[in-house]
Structure 1
Amino acid sequence: MSCENYKQYDNRWASKRYAGDTMAGSGCGPTAVANIVQQMPTEVAKYIESKGGTVSGHGTIWSYIDVALDHFGYNGRQLNGTSLYGVQGSAAETTWKNAMWAGNHYGILLMGPGVFTKGGHYITITEYDGNRCYVHDPASAARDGWHPWSDFEGRVKVFYLADRADRKDSAGSGAEETSVNTYSFGLEQIDLGSVGIYVLLAQEILLPRGFYKGTLDRSFGPLMEAAVRAYQKSRGFLAVDGSLGAATWADLLALPKRNGLYVLKQVKTGDQGVEVLLLQEILKARGYYKGGLDWSFGPQTEKAARKYQADRGLKVDGVAGPETWKDLIAL
């Protein structure tokens, strides 16, 4: 299992309100957690705010990082209660390094002024090899990658650990919801010359977003390659190679994963989120949905879902549940 690499400035949620600010401005905490728990940053942010875990204009309260990790099933632990900025070789630092070196944990560090921030900033650590840390920085793709411990020494305010192995279902979601109300699917790399259902899904996403200018022909031709390159370039941190591999798929979908598969939950009128966005994109590309890509399951989305279900011989309830997702995604 690997960490995600979400960015708080991602235009899919950058302007969402969080901690009296926006996700782009103050969302490093929920984004760092989201990288580990493989939930959307907005879902983590919503949970933290529901628990009173923010201070307006200042971001996420220290003690709510491990609370959020716990909630999503990753056994979060905050190793120190007061800031260790300026301190080297503390007991918390030693415990954190030993646990990370053993390879059974992910880490989050609240950094003080230095390489990663001028003030305070949460970052995700995926690996520690005894001398270096591999960073997923919610605020900067340029700072992703291996950093020597000298970049951290004396600059860490708070150390956090999370188990690598997650539970079968997230806290607050029972096994029934996991098995009955979700649809899971896997994806393959596609590039110039590919044909089939994977290409169709990519076209259905890139067309409504304005990147793809062709038709839904299930063929990865020059127009598709140009669309993928344009999308990758627009993101700023993806390799611009015109190939839809794992990293580009993960960024394009921004869906949670379980056991290596993307997971779509049931959505209905009143729901919001990335699942609704994907539903709108597919239905819009197929001519059913006439509204904007607003992430919100309103009357127009329900009307489009009902029309699609009727045309496909599905139960006409206006709810995008597993059977409707299975028919839409067909993977």
Structure 2
Amino acid sequence: MLRENVESNFFQGLQGSAKVHYLRISVTDRCNERCVYCFPQDLGFLSKKENLLSFEEIYWTIFHGALRHGFKDFRITGGEPLVRKGTVSFIEQLTKISGVRSVRLSTNGTLLGLYARKLKEANIAGVNVSLDCLNPALYKKITGGDIAPVLEGIDECQKVGIESVKINTVLLRGINEEEFLPLIEWASEKKLVIRFIELMPISYTGKISKENFLSVAELKKRLEKQDDLEPLDYKLGQGPAKYFRMKKRNAIVGFIGAISDFHFCDNCNKMRLTSDGFIRPCLGNHLEIDIKPFLRPSVDPFKVYQAFELALQRKPPEHSFRENYNPGRVMTSIGG
């Protein structure tokens, strides 16, 4: 069971916000969809249950490692995080910890209808939903799932008053190109922010090629022929997206260009904790630090702290996606 109280003096003397202050926490490598760019056909990558961190182990990793190094913002990811029993209760525990500024969730949206109200009650700061198209048949082709519960879940998030709901759309040349404007107009109508994300080499089945890769720069040029794009003079969230307002449609559109933007890593503020207990300083780099030996059979606070220290010291200045990168393991295993 998670401890409900933390000693307030533990946080005395912590310095102000560090450059790296954002930790993405994967709670599971399981998912109830099979997206073509993310989830491979071979399920051999799935972790054995005993290798997954318990919620208590994640809690102590955050407490002894992340918070003591100035991390303030956290995102719960998967796989699909809501397929793991207890995820919403864990989010509620995190939001109560002194030193935690925000906790957000990334999800495919299929279970949001069931959990939106509980997430609101848990003080979730925001929800990002993966949605690559509005066409039900195409959605089935891309994800293997049904779009209806996703759209219903997004509506439920807005109904219960979750403050920030953003849509994430992966750019797939030749697959969902006709969906971009309908998605933008739909998002604008619902007063949602939509972000377009370049395909990255993060899956055994998702190799980048000129046939499937579409850059955010190319998309931006296409949209500029349809509307005027004004850069926002304020930041939305903790991530790397660059945001614009489409004047005619009154839509806010973000672009995340990990491959084409050669300055993408300049202001990186994040690291990852995988569901099987590895600190990963960079998504596009194979370096990982196993912290399970410092959590089992009992927690060693100092070694957990040292593991984060080492990860921060060894965080690379930029990713390796442009260097014929072979992912090593898939996105659902690393954490979205």
Fold shared by both chains (TM-score > 0.5): no
Q: Which has the higher contact order (CA 8 A, sep 6+)?
A: 2
Decide which structure has the larger Cα Rg and report it.
1
Structure number having the greater helix percentage: 1
